[in-house]
Amino acid sequence: MKREGRIRLLLMINSVFGGGAEKQFLALATRLDRSSFDVSICLTADRGAYPKTFKTGDFNHCVMVRKSSRYDFPRILQEVRTAIGLVQPDIVHSWLPYSDLINIVLRRHAGHTTAISVRNALKSRHYQDPANRFISRFALPYTLKRADCVFVNSSCGYTDLQRMGRTEDRLCYIPNGIDCAVAPPLPNPPHRGRLVAETQLLAAGRLVPQKGFTNLIHAVKLLLPAHPHLRLRIVGEGSERRALQRTIDTLGIGGHVSLDGYCDGMRYALCEADIFVLPSLFEGMPNTLMEAMAAARPIVATSVDGVLDLITDGENGLLAPPGDGQSLAAAIDRLIVDTELARRLADHARETISTFDFANIVPQYEARYRKLADHG
């Protein structure tokens, strides 16, 4: 039965601060067609503030639920239930396991159509981490079994769910998007004209074990005898800062590797970079990689999860096995030595990423929401 009028959509996530999922959430929420959708948002574990660029006027309702401790779950459930009563949504689409669990638990009371998002391949190290045991053993199986639709952003995640017996009519693969209009290709770094060119590597992300920065630092150590002017910038913050700095100091390469902290805008960092490196041990579909591709930078990445949806080895970047510093060093060395290869891969990366523009991605979500509303 086809539904008449605008679809009332409630988008739910823990917070709009954080990493790639939060950026994709906001990008989708602000770009949905308002002639077809009444869009509201609910933040289920928020810090009590919005980013400076966030405009509450873009949404019908903005509900912020404060989380102060792990024992807040019953109170948070009640507050989100009240928010659902206010919005009266046709569909609640949640992002990240905590919000997914809230969505599914409240479905029985509110009767709305439910959609959840799986942002990592199920066989990735994310779900093997002991810190995520509750998610992998209880929350994820519980929500996957009951959701009306499961959005996945990598083909690996889609395949994993198929193998678990999830039917295709309840699965929807939609990759991450990027705004190519505000991310045109960047010119070559200005230091390229120097007599002794200093090759600059850039890596970006939260300073956590997942991102594999320790392996990259060791790779730089291996490269220095052949490339004494090599420099690596790592932008981002996180719990591993001290450990990474100790590794840099122990290897004696403080003059070649710097931890530059949080960067407000990747394009500023990419302007000086010759090569972008993503050494992650697991990923969903990394935004930083997509931004580097849009900027037409040569790329070395690890062959994990959603990276394989973006990079084809030898065509638009070079791939190395995760956790292998020597292979990472060898791939970086190839791009330093063979500048023609580096340029060709960078150009092809830019061509590839153009198909991931939000102009192509958002309509896929809209089509799926309409299907859910018609059959909800």
> Could you report the per-residue pLDDT of 194-203, keeping only the tens digit for each?
434 689 999 9
What integer is the mean pLDDT of 93-97? 93
* Res 340: pLDDT: 94
Q: Are residues 53 and 139 in the same domain?
A: yes
In this structure, the dihedral spanned by the alpha carbons of residues 191, 193, 196 and 202, taken in order and rounded to 10 degrees, is 30
Residue 2 lies in a domain: no
Q: Are residues 94 and 185 in the same domain?
A: no
C-alpha radius of gyration, the chain, whole number:
22
Q: Are residues 253 and 231 in the same domain?
A: yes
* Res 307: pLDDT: 95
What integer is the mean pLDDT of 282-293? 92
What integer is the mean pLDDT of 48-54? 62
Which structure tokens are listed for 93? 């689409």
Q: Are residues 145 and 246 in the same domain?
A: no
Report the percent of the chain where pLDDT is more than 90. 61
Strand partners of residue 66: 46
The pTM of the full predicted model, rounded to 2 decimals, is 0.88
Residue 88 lies in a domain: yes
Q: What is the CATH number of the domain that holds 245?
A: 3.40.50.2000
Q: Are residues 273 and 172 in the same domain?
A: no
Into how many domains does the chain fold? 2
Q: Are residues 168 and 271 in the same domain?
A: no
Contacts 24+ apart (CB under 8 A), 315-322: 315/345, 315/348, 316/345, 316/348, 316/349, 316/351, 316/352, 317/293, 317/345, 317/349, 318/345, 320/279, 322/212, 322/279, 322/280, 322/281, 322/282
Q: Please say whether the dihedral angle defined by the alpha carbons of residues 50, 51, 54 and 59, taken in this order, is positive or negative.
A: negative
Q: Are residues 340 and 364 in the same domain?
A: no
Residue 32 lies in a domain: yes
Q: Are residues 114 and 186 in the same domain?
A: no
* Res 193: pLDDT: 45
Q: Are residues 125 and 217 in the same domain?
A: no
Q: Are residues 232 and 266 in the same domain?
A: yes
Q: Are residues 148 and 42 in the same domain?
A: yes
pLDDT band at residue 135, thresholds of 50, 70 and 90?
low
pLDDT band at residue 189, thresholds of 50, 70 and 90?
low
* Res 196: pLDDT: 47
The label of the residue with tokens 């509201």 reads 40
Which domain, by its residues, includes 48? 7-177+357-375
Residue 1 lies in a domain: no
Q: Are residues 119 and 225 in the same domain?
A: no
